[in-house]
Homo-oligomer: A and B are copies of this chain.
Amino acid sequence: MRQATSILSFDTPGRGFIDITGSIAGWLRQSGIGEGLLTLLCRHTSASLLIQENAAREVRQDLAAWLDRLAPEGNHYAHDDEGPDDMPAHLRAILTGVTLQVPVIGGRMALGTWQAIYLAEHRRAPHHRQIAVHLIGE
């Protein structure tokens, strides 16, 4: 049994959902671990991680509109010194979450056929984001 860890970096173009499944799969492959548990932690408070539909792009469009509605921008927040998109970004990160775990079976992440891993950027501006990854297995 052994472990591998890393801090992976991603540049986001501002608000949106970036499919990082391929990058994670690449890191997993070079680890040489074929059966195990993969854990991801987004090291930020206004970006997050989620597993969702990898096919229809309209799903991401509807998701963005829904997050806008549930946690709208506006002047009703006490925390506003980093701009009007900052506090809603925190709330959207809380709703979606910053940690994910994926079992690794037979050399692959045991995701469903329609699942991809997304880094969700909730700020309007481009950001440099880090994801801590941990893998244990053999």
List chain A positions with a Cβ less than 8 A from chain B: 1-3, 5, 7, 35-37, 39, 41, 43-45, 50-53, 56, 58-59, 61-63, 66, 70-71, 77-79, 81, 87, 90-91, 93-105, 110-115, 130, 132-134, 136-138
B36 touches A3 (CB 8 A): yes
A71 touches B78 (CB 8 A): no
- Chain B proximity of A106: nearest CB distance (Å): 9
Q: Which of B62, B79, B97, B136 contacts A37 (CB 8 A)?
A: B136
Which residues of chain B are near A35, meaning CB under 8 Å? 3, 5
So how many copies of this chain end up in the complex?
Answer: 3
Q: Which of B3, B43, B59 contacts A90 (CB 8 A)?
A: B59
Which residues of chain B are near A66, meaning CB under 8 Å? 71, 91
A-B contact pairs, 7 of them (CB 8 A): A37-B136, A43-B112, A45-B114, A61-B78, A97-B97, A98-B115, A104-B134
B37 touches A58 (CB 8 A): no
Per the bound structure, the CA–CA distance linking A2 and B81 in Å amounts to 45
Which residues of chain B are near A93, meaning CB under 8 Å? 52
A87 touches B101 (CB 8 A): no
B39 touches A112 (CB 8 A): no
Which residues of chain B are near A62, meaning CB under 8 Å? 77-79, 87, 90-91
